[in-house]
Amino acid sequence: MELSVLDVLLFIVATIITIWFYFQNSYRYWDKRQVPYLKPVFPYGNSTTLLQKDSLPAGEVYNWYNELKNKGHQFGGVWSFSRPVFVVLDPEYIKDILTKDFHHFVNREIYCNEKHDPLGTNLFNIEEQSWKLLRQKLTPTFTSGKMKMMFKSIVDCSDNMIKFLEKKSDADEDIDIREVLASFTSDVIGNVAFGVESNSFDDSKNDIRKYGKEIFETFDLLLLLRIAAQRICPNISKKLGIKSMPDRMIEFFSNLVKTTMEYRTKNNITRPDFLQLLIDMHQEGETSEKYVNFDQIVANTLLFFIAGFDTSSTTMTFTLYELARCPDIQEKTRQEIQKVLSKHENKLTYEALQEMTYLQQVVDEAMRIWPPLITLGRICTRDYRLRDSDIVIEKGTPVVISTLGLGRDPRYYADPEKFDPERFSSEEKNKRHPYIHIPFGEGPRNCIGLRFGLMQSKIGIIRILTNFRIHISTKTKMPLTVDPSIFLLKSNETLYLKAEKM
């Protein structure tokens, strides 16, 4: 049977009309459930940031937070394309979802395909029982004892950064501080996750740094299409078997782990790092409950690298930005550091770090304004009735929380743009709901690397502040603004600093 042009045209029109009806039906979802909502636009729903050039959807949740807040709501419904999404604003509801009723919200809605992409199946992505088991196995890797063991490696890695900054200071050159800190954290995580002694300051094109850049800084149309497909029909996109990263990247990291494992086993070498802890678990054998297989080792060392290096360098970048803008606070922080160090024979030790309480306030305040992960997400895994209401969040509904929105909400922080570490004194902290400041997430699925992330960020800041006075270069366009196009926080402007030797 031959089809005429008219048949084809009729088919296309019928398909468009069917899709349109499907979307319109979905756009009645929140109204039917008496949940306040933001008006959607066909076919994007409320994901209109996707319309912006070079834009991924990270910033949209912040916009949803503000729009719902301005209408006086504590929660609300939106649509990502045709898919209903639940946005939570109120800290007490956030506490229910992340902690108290966690068993209804165990998973994240992240693309994860165990069959086709074993290396994408890491702790961040996997679900339910598999997640629970792996989290139990990996938790002992992040105890304070293990952090103490890795402390010296991090301090040693910071030497190269200080040497680099000294050269820049002598030449009176501007410093792209984000790039410097990304090199430092890339060296640290390369060292503790893969056992590689890299120096990104001498060899800025080394492979670990190169792939790190690629993971976070490459915009790719395929990725954008995949996100759109996932949101409209997550089950179908899962079955397509697309991998989470390019084959050559997977191959590079698998080979790196394989070679290091073989070398250590053959030469009977052990090192104080994450990789060693995973190798030890692997060597316990399949019958042990601690056992992790080779793919799990690669997937999770890679995850530590991805989750650990950009988040920490972002924390340091924005802390230094605020300290450079506020010389008095910079001086106060330096004085505390020097006072504590003098009590510890001028040695930077794990114990000395724990005593620097003002530094912790400074980092908290920087993460309030600039949380490295601006959105937290969960997927409802069992129907859930919202406290004191008849509203039921149905199984399969994505739930999102804006850490950026909470941190900049004037209801919680007067003059939210102002950098003021006093907001995190114990007295001030006690006045606020604890779920307003959650830069590491909360509940059983919070950041497993919190201790490590804070430790390496503080070490970087201490090393810089004890060697240099920092200033904003005139080359920096101020004030910095948030780039909504990527998953992790970044500013639209490059932050250039000047470092003055002390």
369 part of the interface to ligand HEM, by CB under 6 A: no
- The residue among 77 and 460 lying less far from ligand HEM, judged by its C-beta, is 460
Share of the chain residues as helix, strand and coil, in percent rounded to the nearest 5: 55, 10, 35
- The residue among 16 and 450 lying less far from ligand HEM, judged by its C-beta, is 450
Q: Closest CB to ligand HEM belongs to which residue?
A: 441
Q: What is the dihedral of CA 247, 252, 258, 259, to 10 degrees?
A: 150
Shortest reach from residue 398's CB to ligand HEM, in Å: 13
C-alpha closest to that of 364 among 430, 318, 400: 318
List binders of ligand HEM among 22-51 (CB under 6 A): none
Shortest reach from residue 448's CB to ligand HEM, in Å: 5
447 is in an annotated binding site: yes
Supply φ then ψ for residue 482, to 5 degrees: -80, 130
Interacting residue with ligand HEM among 112, 181, 257, 303 (CB under 6 A) = 303
SS3 151: helix
Interacting residue with ligand HEM among 453, 460, 491, 498 (CB under 6 A) = 453
212 part of the interface to ligand HEM, by CB under 6 A: no
Neighbours of 265 (CB within 10 A): 13
The token pair at 457 is 């960020």
**What does the longest C-alpha to C-alpha distance in the chain come to?**
90
Interacting residue with ligand HEM among 448, 462, 497, 499 (CB under 6 A) = 448
List binders of ligand HEM among 251-270 (CB under 6 A): none
376 part of the interface to ligand HEM, by CB under 6 A: yes
Interacting residue with ligand HEM among 315, 361, 402, 491 (CB under 6 A) = 315
Site stretch for ligand HEM (CB under 6 A), options 281-289, 447-455, 473-481, 488-496: 447-455
Place of tokens 């999102």: 400
Question: Distance from first CA to last CA of the chain, Å, rounded?
Answer: 85
DSSP letter at 496?
A: E
Site stretch for ligand HEM (CB under 6 A), options 50-58, 194-202, 336-344, 369-377: 369-377
441 part of the interface to ligand HEM, by CB under 6 A: yes
Neighbours of 433 (CB within 10 A): 13
List binders of ligand HEM among 108-147 (CB under 6 A): 123-124, 135
The token pair at 462 is 């201490």
Crossing angle of the two packed helices 247-266 and 207-217, in degrees rounded to 10: 140
405 part of the interface to ligand HEM, by CB under 6 A: no
63 part of the interface to ligand HEM, by CB under 6 A: no
Interacting residue with ligand HEM among 230, 296, 397, 457 (CB under 6 A) = 457
The count of chain residues that interact with ligand HEM, using the rule CB under 6 A, is 25
Rounded to whole angstroms, how far apart are CA atoms 481 and 494?
Answer: 10
CA distances from 382 to 106, 385, 395 (A): 9, 10, 5
What is the contact surface with ligand HEM in residues (CB under 6 A)? 123-124, 135, 303-304, 307-308, 311-312, 315, 372-373, 376, 439-442, 445-449, 452-453, 457
Annotated binding site for heme: 447
